[in-house]
Amino acid sequence: MNSKPARVRFAPSPTGRLHLGGARTALYDYLLARATGGQFILRIEDTDRKRYQPEAEAEFVRALRWLGLEWDEGPDIGGPYGPYRQSERKEIYQRYAWELVERGHAYPCFCSAERLQKVREEQKRRKESIRYDGHCRNIPPAEARARVEAGERHVIRFKMPREGQVVCRDALRGEIVYDNANLDDSILVKSDGLALYHLASMVDDHLMEITHVLRGSEWLPTFPLHVHIYQAFGWEQPEWVHLSVFLKPSGKGKMSKREAANLMKDGRSIFITDLEAMGYLPEATINWIALMGWSYDDRTEFFTLDDLVQKFSIRKLNPAPAAINFSKFDHFNGLHIRALPLDDLMRRVRPFFERAGYQVDDEKLRQIMPILQPRLKTLSDAPEVAGFFFEDRAEPDPQRLLGKRLTPAQALAAARRLRAMIDEWPDLSQETGEAPVRALAAEMNVKAGDLFALLREAVTGRPVSPPIFDTMVILGRETVLQRLDRAIEILAAMEN
């Protein structure tokens, strides 16, 4: 058990959809909160109104719920530290921005876009690093205040010390030391009065008493700014945890929007709600992403969410980049499908049959669960593997009825014999049926495999299916005979 109860937040910007990286951050947040008896908070960072997407928040909520990561405080359920949407906290950031100005750690900047553009071009020309040149840094505070009060357009910038160093502690990387001289006077509040992440997130984390900030390592470059802001306010810093980056499946280069679009062409997706539609289980998704950047003992691979709560600790997080491995995902999905109670599997697989257009009969669905369960990689495989159980008839493919080597005449003769045998068997089980089919093959001097292929094609209309005898037991003798009759018809037509 980790010591003190942790307060952790997942703070997505509603500018897109929840992807694997975000889901992993949310998972680790959740695990840390649950492992320590603390709280998991959902905060919506919607201050960037240009990139704001109105459907995004609902999509995040749906995806997180599907994963089973329930939060204790959030915009939809409230809580003692609300509001939990940054667009509803504008005044708070204003107040804190001006507190920094008063303490001499920030200043209003009145530079026009044109001026800043010129400065940038000049810096580029001189091959200097691009940054604010400090033009408004030393305007006397009273004068600056008067200009603001007179309504002059301005932003608020952080007044970065020009000398010295800042020591930033990351839980996975230890101390990282930055030279202040290389840091910029970043904007904290834009001219429309809205705070940027650098201010809003720090203020919220402080006010919401967040103990651990888990976030992507894309925040490492601005990490020193964030530490400076905490120090300028005189606040105690949270534990900072910058998680590993995700690499493309090839391991070459970071995962990007472009790569995500490429993956879609291969039928893969990094978006959580897509994974649901593709027939992945939330349990498998959780298991897979948990291990992209964390390990328990390097051996155990199967974890439920409860196991993870028991075993999670941030000490075992690994900052090394992790390549997204979709075959591993398929593997985990198979494991979790096989771990489901049949009732549960039945409930989950049903919509996939229905979406594929099958009328699902409950009794039959229940019967096929044991033979379906070991064969599914994703739930969406189910109609392909077992849809024929719900079809009135199977339309066999004439060529496939011949297996690898039968002539139409042989196949027709075999189909007639099989029909007669099956009509006589006491039941359709493998114990009853296998030996006679093999004996028939020997008698006809053909391969048993070809007779099984013929039988399979006739009964299911597919070249692969669950074990043929199990399948016939569930379909029932009447249906099997009808389907054989149809195959005989087709073969007779071929023969002529």
Active site residues: 257
**Encoding tokens for residue 424?**
């006589």
**Encoding tokens for residue 170?**
């990351």
The answer to whether residue 41 forms part of the interface with ligand GLU (CB under 6 A) is no
Nearest to ligand GLU of 72, 330 (CB atom): 72
Contact with ligand GLU (CB under 6 A) among 23, 26, 45, 451: 45
Q: How far is the CB of 41 from ligand GLU (least distance, A)?
A: 11
Residue type, 295: S
Nearest to ligand GLU of 45, 57 (CB atom): 45
H or E element at residue 188: strand 187-189
H or E element at residue 7: strand 7-10
Which of the 8 DSSP states describes residue 254?
Answer: B
The answer to whether residue 36 forms part of the interface with ligand GLU (CB under 6 A) is no
Which backbone phi and psi does 19 adopt, to 5 degrees? Answer: -115, 180
Q: What angle do CA 243, 245, 246 make, to 5 degrees?
A: 130
Q: How far is the CB of 394 from ligand GLU (least distance, A)?
A: 51
Which backbone phi and psi does 85 adopt, to 5 degrees? Answer: -115, 125
Q: How far is the CB of 56 from ligand GLU (least distance, A)?
A: 11
The answer to whether residue 12 forms part of the interface with ligand GLU (CB under 6 A) is yes
How far is it, in rounded angstroms, from Cα 147 to Cα 108?
9
Stretch near ligand GLU under the rule CB under 6 A, chosen from 8-16, 125-133, 234-242, 303-311? 8-16
The answer to whether residue 419 forms part of the interface with ligand GLU (CB under 6 A) is no
The answer to whether residue 86 forms part of the interface with ligand GLU (CB under 6 A) is no
Site string for ligand GLU, 204-243 (x = CB under 6 A): ---------x-x----------------------------
The answer to whether residue 13 forms part of the interface with ligand GLU (CB under 6 A) is yes
Q: Is 178 helix (H, G, I), strand (E, B) or coil?
A: strand
Q: What angle do CA 263, 268, 271 make, to 5 degrees?
A: 95
How far is it, in rounded angstroms, from Cα 254 to Cα 245?
7
Query: What torsion do the CA atoms of 153, 158, 162, 166 make, to the nearest 10 degrees?
Result: -170
| Cross-strand pairs, 108 | 156
Stretch near ligand GLU under the rule CB under 6 A, chosen from 11-19, 127-135, 320-328, 451-459? 11-19
Q: How far is the CB of 201 from ligand GLU (least distance, A)?
A: 5
Residue 42 contacts residue 353 (beta carbons within 8 Å)? no
* Near ligand GLU in 319-378, by CB under 6 A: none
Nearest to ligand GLU of 89, 462 (CB atom): 89
Contact with ligand GLU (CB under 6 A) among 36, 201, 211, 287: 201
Q: Contact positions toward ligand GLU, by CB under 6 A? A: 11-13, 45, 201, 213, 215
